[in-house]
Amino acid sequence: LDQLVLDAYGHKAIQSADVDNELVPEVMRRLQRFLPEGAAELLADPSYVKKVLDLFDRTDRKLSYLEQLTECDFKYYFLRPSSPAKLLAHFEADVVSNVLRSVIDCTEWSLDSLRNLAAGHGMKYAAVLQIIRLALIDSRNGPPVMELFQFFGKDECLKRFSELLVKLEQCEVSAAA
């Protein structure tokens, strides 16, 4: 069998599994083994795990192996960025800080408001979206930013932005010392 066939079988098995009695408990067991303590608040909530699984069911994303959630492709649904390193590899710290503070202060998160925010900072719109995506999921690639906003919700997005700002400040302090 080739990899495409194995992926298709894995996808079918996940689609046909009982979400509440099989998938959610198994994903939670795997997450508890592979994710750090910092992810505990999300792991304690079976409804959040189900929300992630439902997202795959409603979208074109293909989940073929549970390891995709716990060890690779999609673990960002369960982990907040642990460091600003990827952001700082592409942007200056003050730019990241200013953009994230502006997003936090923004009353409406829409494409137009983000375009205006980019213009206000004299930046390309794509660069602002990249900063936001990196701040939310620690990856330059992934779902559209508006989809991430919708999935995580404002509270979780604000937590991720705020925690990253704190980590960014800690990096600046340790670099200055």
Q: What is the mean pLDDT of residues 20-36?
A: 84
Which of 31, 48, 77 is the last residue in one of the domains? 77
Q: How many domains would you assign to the chain? A: 2
Residue 33: which of 2, 78, 83, 3 has the closest Cα? 78
Which of 77, 93, 125 is the last residue in one of the domains? 77
Q: What is the mean pLDDT of residues 58-81?
A: 81
The three-state secondary structure class of 130 is helix
- In this predicted structure, the answer to whether residue 7 has a pLDDT above a threshold of 90 is no
Check whether residue 7 and residue 67 sit in a common domain.
Answer: yes
Check whether residue 8 and residue 48 sit in a common domain.
Answer: yes
Q: For residues 56 and 109, what is the distance between their CA atoms, to the nearest angstrom?
A: 23
8 Å CB contact between 52 and 69: yes
* Long-range contacts, 133-138 (Cβ 8 Å, 24+): 134/81, 134/86, 134/87, 134/90, 135/81, 135/87, 135/96, 135/100, 135/160, 135/161, 135/164, 136/76, 136/81, 136/160, 136/161, 137/76, 137/81, 138/76, 138/79, 138/81, 138/82, 138/83, 138/86
Residue 167 belongs to a domain with what CATH number?
Answer: 1.10.10.350
Q: Which of 129-138, 152-161, 163-172 has the lowest mean pLDDT?
A: 163-172
Q: Which of 42-51, 141-150, 155-164 has the lowest mean pLDDT?
A: 42-51
Structural domain boundaries, residue 135: 85-176
For 1-45, the DSSP string reads --HHHHHHHHHHHHHHS-IIIIIHHHHHHHHHHHS-GGGHHHHT-
Q: What is the mean pLDDT of residues 104-128?
A: 96
Q: What is the pLDDT of residues 144-158, one digit of tens each?
A: 999 999 999 999 999
The model's pTM: 0.84
